[in-house]
Structure 1
Amino acid sequence: MTTPAAVIVDAAAYARAVEDAVGAAAAYYTGGTSPLDDDAYDRLVRGIADWEADHPDQVLPGSPTGKVAGGAVEGDVPHTVPMLSLDNVFSAEEFTAWTAALARRTGRDTTRFSVGPKLDGLAIAARYNGGRLTRLITRGDGTAGEDVSHAIGTVEGLPERLAEPVTLEVRGEVLMTAAQFEYANEVRTGHGGQPFANPRNAAAGTLRAKERVYTVPMTFFGYGLLPLPDTDRALAERLDELAHSELMDLAAGLGVHTSARTAVPDTVAETPEQVLDRVKEIAAVRAELPFGIDGIVVKADLAADRRAAGSGSRAPRWAVAYKLPAVEKITRLLEVEWNVGRTGIIAPRAVLEPVVIDGSTITYATLHNPADITRRDLRLGDHVMVHRAGDVIPRVEAPVAHLRTGEERPIEFPGHCPRCGSDIDTGEERWRCAQGRNCHLVASLAYAAGRDQLDIEGLGTTRVVQLVDAGLVADLADLFALRRDQLLALERMGETSTDNLLAAIERAKAQPLSRVLCALGVRGTGRSMSRRIARHFATMDHIRAADTDAMQQVEGIGAEKAPSIVAELAELAPLIDKLAAAGVTMTEPGAVPPAAEAAPDGRSGAGAPAEDGPLAGMTVVVTGAMTGSLEKLSRNEMNELVERAGGRSSSSVSRRTTLVVAGEGAGAKRAKAEQLGIRLAAPDEFAALVAGLLA
């Protein structure tokens, strides 16, 4: 969808818009902050451009439409070749119009395109002399930039020495990955500073910082190579003649980090239609990337086409940025709500001034935990940066501290559980009601009875409320002690519904250990983790006997998660004893206890996929709606099926994935599998693979 332009009604509004846009650009390019988010800035600049198109005789000399991005910044290091920014398109129609203009300039009906992610960071030029990195320069006003060579050695992917002793310039983008951004904010707030609003601002501010008492990592992605005055003549001629795709291969060979090692590598497209297909593929996996992108860069790949197209004063005519809808917006934090989850976790939720992000109106966002609120120094009334990508729950990134007016108020933390009034356990970052899951007994029991846990048909939330209100159940084990006469005494419980419910409860006793463990709702575990733990230890006794070190032997459980799992299992001991006494299964079919087998790496063989199953040694991701014989299986049951067949189920596609089962409506995960060359299987093909287990 095309980003709408800001409406400018007269010359005075135009002048204010130019002032606002230039000021926002200056704030970002000097300190990494801005009063406008990307979407607001794009709308403002498009409005300015529309006004100027209708009033060409009134264009102000300071207009951002005639400047390279970052042009408000003065630089003292001249660029040997202007470091231009890119023009934007916001729709397939605008892109098609751009390709038509490119064809007119090159004299070719079709050309070859290089297509890759538009990284959301700060453009820099890295100069190498004899293979050694000697200077880093920002884009500045496009003709000269700032010297930020003090950052040499702090940017991952930008080697201090190339693989060959060549003299040339590498151009690219410095950014922070999601993990680097989180670490940067922890370090920055730990030293008394304000948290960064987002990774882009963090990278811009960090790159320029000269006298900080701490350093934080950043990442570089190269997107261009060009000769310097001292470059060997043969190499200079070669750089001028290589296609862009070949230049990127050369950069990677020299040791420069490029998009080639990501899930969205630059690719070559032969037609505009192929470019648009690639745009859709990259957009589909955007939410899963470990770094931010705000669009897709499309370039004429061949050197001859680039020369024929030429460049304007602010942007090349042979390249364009296909902008994607914004995933971040600035809005105001109005209130904080405190909700209690089924395990007693007390979670803060931000109430926001409504804001539209990527087509959805956002009024609530996650705030993680009280420690996160304190670390980010959030206050009621703050302007905050809100992030949403794909189906990910919106989250508050940080306050936009420079927009504070002084009227913001501290966020009050609850002194007692907001649900039941009990004390609060504040010993961990995630606060918890002292009553634990008993604080929210109805939600806890309804969850345990769910299809992917004990699968007790007929025991929905309404029925659980009845049982709790009648005093018949005080914990999960009490379900298995229910009598027929007790149920018949309840309202709307006839003989048939009573007998059906008792039969479903009896069947639940035979559910495997993995489902029982999941039903307990141990913090830090879920359906897949419960299966891993059950398959690793084989019996509940072995699980309960495991200490922190033993628990860390389970794949996916690290030093941070293991202690809380062990502690909560100890806390649940009386309930587990009651469940075992009631006849609930405490073993995992087919799993081998840890002491019975040891793997070469020191991990026990328990929980390893079966060596003789049809999916032995395979990592399988299931996505989309299943059909045919798989249609009635839940996603959890599909994952269980994968593991019974000897495979390992996973929720995300990576280079370690062996097979992706793609049903109807499979989107981002299918696209990523295609990009990585991972085998795809339709539901009927997968059903044939595991036919012997579908009885």
Structure 2
Amino acid sequence: MTTSPAVTAAPAAVVADAAAYAEAVATATRAASAYYATGESPLDDDAYDRLVRGIAAYEQEHPDETSPVSPVGKVAGGAVSGDVPHTVPMLSLDNVFSPEQLVAWTASVERRTGRPVTVWSVEPKLDGLAVAARYEQGRLARLVTRGDGTAGEDVSHAIGTIAGLPQRLTEPATLEIRGEVLMTDEQFERANAARTGHGGTPFANPRNGAAGSLRARDREYTVEMTFFGYAALALPDSGAELTARLGEWAHSEVMRHVAGLGVHTAHSTPVAPRTLSATAAIQERIAEIAAARPGLPFGIDGIVIKADLAEDQAAAGSGSRAPRWAVAYKLPAVEKVTTLLGVEWNVGRTGIIAPRAVLEPVEIDGSTVTYATLHNPADITRRDLRTGDRVMVYKAGDIIPRIEAPVAHLRTGAEQPVVFPEVCPQCGSGIDTSEQRWRCVRGRDCHAVASVSYAAGRDQLDIEGLGTTRVVQLVDAGLVRDFSDLFGLTREQLLGLDRMGETSTDNLLAALDTARTRPLSRVFCALGVRGTGRSMSRRIARHFATMEHIRTADAEALQQVDGIGAEKARTVVAELAELAPLIDRLTAAGVNMTEPGATYRGAVTEGGGAGPEAGLPEGDQASPGAPARTDQDAGPLHGMTVVVTGAMTGELEKLSRNQMNELIERAGGKSSSSVSKRTSLLVAGANAGSKRDKAEQLGTRIAAPDEFAAMVAGFLDTTV
């Protein structure tokens, strides 16, 4: 069984005396006001939560000193209000942080109901702004924010800008649908591009963007947001039948009805709600949603667990701030505010000059973050990043941290523009600034160590014993200028290096001999052609069968390869022309330049007969644009799209995910990373998670690792 991740809550802020308490209450109230009004809080979520817990601890010890404006126990921290009354209070949720707290909470619900709760709904907690959408006879008439829970702000001017919230339902129903308005990652990027394009500062994060955009009026531009419903309730004019249904149906039934009306719900996401009966199953589902979090196209900050049946909800009741039948299982914070100390400029294996943000160390999701990725100089300019800025840093799972945007309202005036390099920081040569990603004019020659280390990597030539430290030795000794030189190394040369004994030398030479025999797809990947990677290299190699056919292909011929468009094709042709001397040296060194199982057939005329080069033996070179005949045309997975998820076992246990994808393609299939209606087969190992759920919903065929291994048995030995 997969257990749910325990979240260690950060220590509460220390509130030592009455003066510190008064200051903490004022700070928390200001932060909550800004957070719920525009999303522009001076505190990130973690800092705000710690401050409120410190206030609560002080109040528990000094109940006579509790301030009437304290945020503790109030919806939205008591910092906001509105002028549109809610038909039913729009409450917040209490939080739990561990499996033990979750078990205690479910037990408390059952004590209140006086009976076991047999059905729980488990669903993602979307990180957006709560709103109530009121429909009259199927027409969206009003949008109201949560406010203080009893009344909210009218934001009906935003109707028509929110995906998933139709202006007309599929039925002429009168009801209120509650949910979250948020920005997906793609919508957030588009919103910031529009905002900065009109002279504004970028939003710090998607929630900030949704809050600001929802309230914006009379703006020169509009940005799209997305709605996901999580509840529905009757209005005075709903009619007896619908009122009865909404009052009697289970929560899961209500949400299915809402989805049928044409409104987005979490059921359409990769982490769709489930109804479960056992606490152990709830914890397992929590772990699955948490694992899926990094790949979601929108933010979540927890998982919501609700008693599903209407009678259980009624029996458990609600408090003044939160219902007693629902709780939020909080996940670790994935974004924090810290200071941008500077920008480093690093040169990659192809000469690309990549900026990296240097940050004041901050703990995010259990690890200390000191660096964050920055895409390119144009991205720095667009985001208006400045040295000394307070910035929102985002991290999810194992993804490299990145800066969302500066927190512009926290600027003091002391921030300085980021200084861009005028010459290559690696070698001092000129910089090609004609594209968004700047590049040293020397290209690959600028950074031989990175280029050779990449070629020797596991997903390329997989040369065991050739780590970065050894590559540095070889380059510094003048023995290696590019990775073709590796295959000319002698035993005497290697023994002359520091810390290279006879055993390690012989092992490295043996590994180099093995690397010579790698398939063309690996060799092509090792070249580091811009716009290609492991998967694309396999497709190119299998399409053309030999390096010579690839080199003689023009841009039009390359576009016959799945995934290569006109622009990428031109880039590949130009790169191969630049790499021609290196390829010649590799060929001369005896490196394999063919793809096993791929046979280049040559051109075929429109009528089906052979073209001008029909006299060539099968497998010889014909027209550069003709497709290769590969094992894909006859393999057991021919015509199938296959997705792999979970931990493999048996014969597949030692294969990396790249090797699994290679196996699929060798057996005639197409590998994919996500389950959709086009997926033919899901290979599901241990802890398969949300991909298995989606496959089951779609009725996609699912195979265990041993079953799949039997299907492709004839191709396992050729996978490297």
Q: Does the alignment reach a TM-score above 0.5? A: yes
Contact in 2 for aligned 1:29/1:70 (Cα 8 Å): no
| Residue equivalent to 1:641 | 663
Contact in 1 for aligned 2:675/2:695 (Cα 8 Å): no
| Residue equivalent to 2:282 | 275
Q: 2:383 aligns with which of 370, 376, 379?
A: 376
| Residue equivalent to 2:299 | 292
Offset at residue 483 of structure 1 (A): 6.4
Aligned mates of 2:139, 2:116 — CA distance in 1:
42
Report the AA paired with residue 47 of structure 1: G
In the TM superposition, 1:307-456 aligns within 5 A as 307-456=314-463
Provide closer, same or farther for how the CA distance between residues 175 and 572 of structure 1 changes in structure 2, counting only shifts above 3 A.
Answer: same
Deviations 1:645-692 (A, max 9, x none): 2222334555655555566xx65x545424543666555444333322
Q: What is the count of residue pairs matched by the alignment?
A: 689
Aligned mates of 2:570, 2:205 — CA distance in 1:
32
Which structure 1 segments of 5+ residues have no match? Answer: none
Provide closer, same or farther for how the CA distance between residues 692 and 420 of structure 1 changes in structure 2, counting only shifts above 3 A.
Answer: same
Contact in 2 for aligned 1:137/1:146 (Cα 8 Å): yes
Contact in 1 for aligned 2:164/2:228 (Cα 8 Å): yes
| Residue equivalent to 2:692 | 673
Aligned mates of 1:257, 1:577 — CA distance in 2:
56
| Residue equivalent to 1:688 | 710
Report the AA paired with residue 6 of structure 1: A
Aligned mates of 2:521, 2:471 — CA distance in 1:
23
Q: Find out whether 1:32 has 2:39 as its counterpart.
A: yes
SS at match of 1:39: helix
Q: Find out whether 1:249 has 2:268 as its counterpart.
A: no
Q: 2:54 aligns with which of 47, 50, 53?
A: 47
In the TM superposition, 1:454-469 aligns within 5 A as 454-457=461-464, 459-461=466-468, 463-469=470-476
SS at match of 1:344: coil
Contact in 2 for aligned 1:103/1:111 (Cα 8 Å): no
| Residue equivalent to 1:202 | 209
Q: 1:166 aligns with which of 170, 173, 188?
A: 173
Range moving further from structure 2, 355-364 or 72-81: 72-81
Aligned mates of 1:74, 1:284 — CA distance in 2:
36
Range moving further from structure 2, 265-274 or 673-682: 673-682
Deviations 1:438-464 (A, max 9, x none): 111122123223343234455554554
In the TM superposition, 1:40-189 aligns within 5 A as 40-69=47-76, 71-189=78-196
Aligned mates of 1:598, 1:623 — CA distance in 2:
42
Deviations 1:624-660 (A, max 9, x none): 6655544554443333222212222334555655555
SS at match of 1:694: helix
Provide closer, same or farther for how the CA distance between residues 464 and 498 of structure 1 changes in structure 2, counting only shifts above 3 A.
Answer: same
- Report % sequence identity: 72
Contact in 2 for aligned 1:660/1:670 (Cα 8 Å): no
Aligned mates of 2:662, 2:605 — CA distance in 1:
23
Contact in 2 for aligned 1:538/1:592 (Cα 8 Å): yes
Q: Find out whether 1:515 has 2:515 as its counterpart.
A: no
Provide closer, same or farther for how the CA distance between residues 231 and 550 of structure 1 changes in structure 2, counting only shifts above 3 A.
Answer: farther
Report the AA paired with residue 86 of structure 1: L
Report the AA paired with residue 302 of structure 1: L
Aligned mates of 1:597, 1:11 — CA distance in 2:
87
Contact in 2 for aligned 1:263/1:676 (Cα 8 Å): no
Aligned mates of 1:18, 1:676 — CA distance in 2:
49
Aligned mates of 2:566, 2:41 — CA distance in 1:
39
SS at match of 1:615: coil
Aligned mates of 1:132, 1:99 — CA distance in 2:
38
Provide closer, same or farther for how the CA distance between residues 458 and 140 of structure 1 changes in structure 2, counting only shifts above 3 A.
Answer: closer
Deviations 1:457-490 (A, max 9, x none): 5555455445434544433334445567766777
Contact in 2 for aligned 1:173/1:220 (Cα 8 Å): yes
Provide closer, same or farther for how the CA distance between residues 157 and 596 of structure 1 changes in structure 2, counting only shifts above 3 A.
Answer: farther
Provide closer, same or farther for how the CA distance between residues 174 and 484 of structure 1 changes in structure 2, counting only shifts above 3 A.
Answer: same
Offset at residue 508 of structure 1 (A): 3.8
SS at match of 1:65: coil
Provide closer, same or farther for how the CA distance between residues 455 and 655 of structure 1 changes in structure 2, counting only shifts above 3 A.
Answer: same
Offset at residue 190 of structure 1 (A): 1.6
Aligned mates of 2:490, 2:415 — CA distance in 1:
57
Contact in 2 for aligned 1:533/1:607 (Cα 8 Å): no
Report the AA paired with residue 179 of structure 1: E
| Residue equivalent to 1:224 | 231
Contact in 2 for aligned 1:350/1:365 (Cα 8 Å): yes
Contact in 2 for aligned 1:539/1:586 (Cα 8 Å): yes
Q: 1:588 aligns with which of 595, 611, 622?
A: 595
Aligned mates of 1:255, 1:573 — CA distance in 2:
56
| Residue equivalent to 2:619 | none
SS at match of 2:632: coil
Offset at residue 52 of structure 1 (A): 2.4
Provide closer, same or farther for how the CA distance between residues 82 and 609 of structure 1 changes in structure 2, counting only shifts above 3 A.
Answer: farther
Aligned mates of 2:177, 2:513 — CA distance in 1:
68
Report the AA paired with residue 572 of structure 1: L
TM-score, with structure 1 as normaliser: 0.91
Contact in 2 for aligned 1:70/1:140 (Cα 8 Å): no
Deviations 1:208-233 (A, max 9, x none): 11121111111100111111122122
Provide closer, same or farther for how the CA distance between residues 306 and 497 of structure 1 changes in structure 2, counting only shifts above 3 A.
Answer: closer
Offset at residue 78 of structure 1 (A): 1.7
Range moving further from structure 2, 187-196 or 243-252: 187-196
Offset at residue 247 of structure 1 (A): 0.4
Aligned mates of 1:550, 1:26 — CA distance in 2:
59
SS at match of 2:111: helix
SS at match of 2:36: helix
Aligned mates of 1:276, 1:87 — CA distance in 2:
17
| Residue equivalent to 1:264 | 271
Aligned mates of 1:420, 1:168 — CA distance in 2:
67
SS at match of 1:294: strand
Q: 2:540 aligns with which of 533, 542, 550?
A: 533
Aligned mates of 2:144, 2:187 — CA distance in 1:
22
Contact in 2 for aligned 1:336/1:350 (Cα 8 Å): yes
Report the AA paired with residue 258 of structure 2: A
SS at match of 2:76: coil
Range moving further from structure 2, 18-27 or 677-686: 677-686
Aligned mates of 1:10, 1:283 — CA distance in 2:
39
Deviations 1:131-179 (A, max 9, x none): 1111111111222211111111111111111111111111110001111
Deviations 1:263-319 (A, max 9, x none): 111111213333222212211211111110001111111111222222222222221
Offset at residue 392 of structure 1 (A): 0.8
Contact in 1 for aligned 2:544/2:627 (Cα 8 Å): no
SS at match of 1:337: strand
Aligned mates of 1:683, 1:210 — CA distance in 2:
55
Offset at residue 504 of structure 1 (A): 5.1
Contact in 1 for aligned 2:29/2:77 (Cα 8 Å): no
Range moving further from structure 2, 636-645 or 260-269: 636-645
Aligned mates of 2:601, 2:38 — CA distance in 1:
55
TM-score, with structure 2 as normaliser: 0.88
Aligned mates of 2:583, 2:381 — CA distance in 1:
37
Range moving further from structure 2, 492-501 or 246-255: 492-501
